[in-house]
Amino acid sequence: METHSQTFKIRLGLFVAGGLALFVLAIFIIGKQKNLFDPVITLTANFYNVSGLQVGNNVRFSGINVGTVDNIHIINDSTVKVVMLIRKDVRQFLKSDCEVVIGSEGIIGSRLITITQGSNDASLAKDGQRLASKEPVETDAIISSMQVTAAYAEIITQQLAEIMVNLNSKNGTLGRLIQDSTIAENFNQTMLNLKSSSKGLDQNMEAAKHNFLFKGYFNRKDKEAEQKAKDEEDAKLEEQRTNDEKK
């Protein structure tokens, strides 16, 4: 009987010790996540709508968790105050002109707060300071915008399909132009006529050069072209000589 009692006491003691160890471990983990054991500073921000933000959600700066949401309470019908606990060792990077934005972890993740980087010449944020904030974008608004975009895309797709049907069925000017071989042949004949006209014009110009009425004009133009080429060549030689003298 006495042996059974001692065994029961030992088991009870082990159970109590294990329970206390688990309790201490849980307190340590929760305190580590909530920054209960680290020196912290308090920052606040006001919002019109916190969009599902809850106490205990993370606060991030430069993509790193630097604190948690400590309290959320309503000031009036248009203002909600959010209190954040930020690790004190991060204060050296937080400027007074930083902005607070409510976001989410992924598309359907829990809400969190993101603190944007401030300017280099701004002063450091003080304990208890209220930072500027940006209102969050509601998920419903994003979905509504995507629905409108999808509706417009559907209309454009239908119109493109109608255009392709008209092209394939030779309806409309563009369809006849693409599908009708007669139009293509007429176009080719027009291009041949233009080439023939250009060739004839070149021949007429060559004949005009040898005509005594225009020979003086064309000779003058040739001399001007030669003089211009000579002037350009002299300018290049002068520039090259100047560069050689500088060296």
For 193, counting Cβ atoms within 10 Å of its Cβ (0-12 exposed, 13-18 middle, 19+ buried), the class is exposed
When computed from its CA atoms, the radius of gyration of the chain, rounded to whole angstroms, is 42
Q: What tokens were used for 107?
A: 């598309």
Q: What tokens were used for 155?
A: 């209309």
Residue 152: what pLDDT? 80
Residue 3: what pLDDT? 65
Rounded to whole angstroms, the Cα distance separating 79 from 131 reads 14
Structure confidence by residue, pLDDT tens digits, 164-195:
776 666 666 665 666 566 666 766 777 777 77
Structure confidence by residue, pLDDT tens digits, 113-129:
999 998 888 899 999 89
Contacts of 118 (CB under 8 A, 6+ apart): 94, 95, 96, 97, 98
Contact status, residue 67 vs residue 35, Cβ threshold 8 Å: yes
Rounded to whole angstroms, the Cα distance separating 40 from 54 reads 19
Q: What are the domain boundaries of the chain?
A: 39-137
Among left, alpha and beta (phi > 0; psi -120 to 50; other), residue 138 is beta
Closest by Cα among 156, 180, 181 to 167: 180
Closest by Cα among 138, 140, 42, 47 to 91: 42
Q: Which residues of the chain have pLDDT under 70?
A: 1-6, 8-9, 12, 23-24, 26-38, 106-108, 137-144, 166-184, 186-187, 196-219, 221-222, 246-247
3-state helix, strand, coil in the chain (%, to 5): 55, 20, 20
Among left, alpha and beta (phi > 0; psi -120 to 50; other), residue 109 is beta
Residue 114: what pLDDT? 92
Phi, psi of 59 (to 5 degrees): -120, 130
